[in-house]
Structure formats: structure tokens, C-alpha cells
Amino acid sequence: MTEMGRLLKDCGVRSVYRCMPARSRRAGVWRVLNQDDIDWFDQNAVCKGYTPDEMVFSQGDACDGIYLICKGMAAVRKSSSEGKSVLMKLARPGDMLGYRPFLAGEPHRARAQFVKPGGRVCFLKSSVVRELLMRQPLFGLELLKCVSKELGEAEERFSHSVTKVLRNRFGHWLLLMKEPYGTSLDDGGLVLELPISRAEIAEMLGVRAESLSRAIHQMTEDGVVRFTGRKAWIDEPDRLIEELS
């Protein structure tokens, strides 16, 4: 069996392209691929499984291509010269990593490692991505859209960190978790299965864990949100939205 055959067998699919989450194939960058592009993708993509804490790439590594998260969740962290680590984002199935440094011709400015078991990534090396850009120009336009969206999100996070109190920033973060990790209840409430610990949430918000704990305690006292382990119960989501407006 060829190496690609073994990779496909490990993924449990006949096509590396089909290894992608369905929503990724229907929207965003990959939706512009025609059948010839998909066949070519299958011939050149490499799919690999990852264990928890296994590194996808390290900060400062040369960018050798782009990565598509097919399964699991990866944490993207950036370390300062003093060694302080900051959680920048959580990459879930359908998200791409490495496209910004690839387009900029720069090394990775952060590291990515899986935080849950069963992680899987499809990788396209740089030469393959360049060929794909030549084969399908619309793919390049979609990549630029991704970069623009990421820049806008970074600007919004910076604005929140400067202008909003921690309570509002945490409330905003909870609402962002609704789509990937939330379940709407029959009574109109919302329950979130938080993907990371409170310490990691604090790291992502750029605050001390003690400060976040105080904000959570106050929000619980006010009846805005309550917690049981990693579950956050928001009985009145409209109340939280109104508080943030």
C-alpha cells in the first residue's frame, strides 16, 4: 500500500479532501475547488493524526505550508522574549493555520499544539499551495479574505482589551462560544461546554486567573451566569447581550 493509501485508511475515508469537515467543503476557501482541483488536492495533501500536547508547529519555525484542522482542537500560543505565553486562539475543525505566514513569507509567529485527543490535520506544503493558487485563482482570493477577517478580529480584540472591563470581555467571549460549543435549551436558556480551563480563558483574555475568578463570582452573584465544572449556564442570554450593548 502506498503512503497516501495508508494515510487515507487511517482517516477512514477514500479521499483526503473528504477528510475535511463538511462545512469547510461547502464554504470559505475550499468551496471554490472544482473536481479536478479536488483530485489534485487528494494526490498532494498529507493527513496526520495528533495526540494531546503534540506540536503541529513551533514559534519561529519556517512556514512550510498550510494546515487544515480536520478533527480535534488546537491551541495557538505566542511566547514573549521573557517566556510569557499567551493563548491567541483555539482552532477547531474547519479552521486553517499557517496561511498568514505563508502569504507573508515569514516564519510562524506562534506555536500550535493539540489540546484534545483524536486530533487530525491535513497539510499542504508550500509548493503545493503555490500550484493550487495557479490552478485556481479564486482560491487565492479566498485566502486573502481569511487574512482580512483575522486582521479585523485582532483589531476587535485589541479594542475590547482597551475599552471594555473584564466582565464585559468575558461575557463577549462566552457569546462567541455559543456557535461551536453551545446548546439552546427549551426554556430559552443556553448551556456552554467550555473547551478550556478557567486559567486558559484568563490567558486568552490577557488577565490574571484571580481577576477572572472575581469577575465570574460577581456575574454568578448577579444571576447572569452560573457554572458547574466546565459547563456555563446562561438562563437569560438576552440579559447578557443587553449588558454588553
Sequential DSSP letters for 101-161: HHHHT---SSEEEE-SSSEEEEEEEHHHHHHHHHH-HHHHHHHHHHHHHHHHHHHHHHHHH
Q: Based on the domain organization, do 157 and 170 belong to the same domain?
A: no
Contact 35, 90 (CB under 8 A): no
For residue 3, name the pLDDT band (cuts at 50, 70, 90): very low
The answer on 193 and 85 residing in a single domain is no
Residue 152 and residue 112 share a domain: yes
Which tens digits make up the pLDDT trace of 155-175?
A: 776 666 655 788 888 988 898
Rounded mean pLDDT, 131-150: 86
Higher per-residue confidence, 25 vs 137:
137
Q: What is the pLDDT of residue 4?
A: 39
Query: By percentage, how much of the chain surpasses pLDDT 70?
Result: 86
Same-domain pairing of 152 and 201: no
The answer to whether residues 9 and 79 belong to one domain is: yes
Give mean pLDDT, residues 121-126: 91
- Domain-ending residue, one of 102, 127, 161: 161
pLDDT of 191 reads: 93
99 lies in the same domain as 55: yes
Question: Domain limits at 191?
Answer: 164-244
Alpha helices in the chain (DSSP H): 3-11, 22-26, 35-44, 99-104, 126-135, 137-163, 166-176, 178-181, 198-205, 209-221, 237-244
CA atoms within 13 Å, Cβ hemisphere of 16:
26
pLDDT at residue 69 is higher than 80: yes
For CA atoms 93, 178, 166, 232, give the dihedral sign: negative
More confident of the two residues 4 and 75: 75
CATH value at residue 170: 1.10.10.10
- 18: pLDDT strictly greater than 50: yes
Same domain membership, residue 149 and residue 42: yes
**What CATH number is associated with residue 86?**
2.60.120.10
**What is the reported pLDDT for 207?**
85
5, exposed or middle or buried, with CB in 10 Å at 0-12, 13-18, 19+? exposed
Distance CA 74, CA 143 (A): 20
**Distance between CA 191 and CA 61 in Å, rounded?**
39
**150 and 89 housed in the same domain:** yes
- Boundary of a domain, candidates 161, 189, 218: 161
Do 202 and 212 touch, CB atoms closer than 8 A?
A: yes
Q: In the listed set 161, 189, 217, which residue is the last one of a domain according to the structure?
A: 161
* pLDDT for position 11: 44
Count the domains in the chain.
2
Residues 141, 214, single domain; the answer is: no
Is the pLDDT at 111 greater than 90? The verdict is yes
Q: Are residues 13 and 83 in the same domain?
A: yes
Q: What integer pLDDT is reported at residue 27 of this predicted model?
A: 63
Range with the poorest average pLDDT among 76-85, 101-110, 165-174: 76-85
Mean pLDDT of the chain: 83
- Widest pairwise Cα distance in the chain: 61
Same domain, yes or no: 63 and 117: yes
pTM of the model: 0.71
33: its cell numbers? 475547488
Co-location of 16 and 128 in the same domain: yes
Q: What is the mean pLDDT of residues 39-67?
A: 89
pLDDT of residue 172: 87
Tell me, what's the pLDDT at 158? 64
Q: What are phi and psi of 10, to 5 degrees?
A: -60, -35
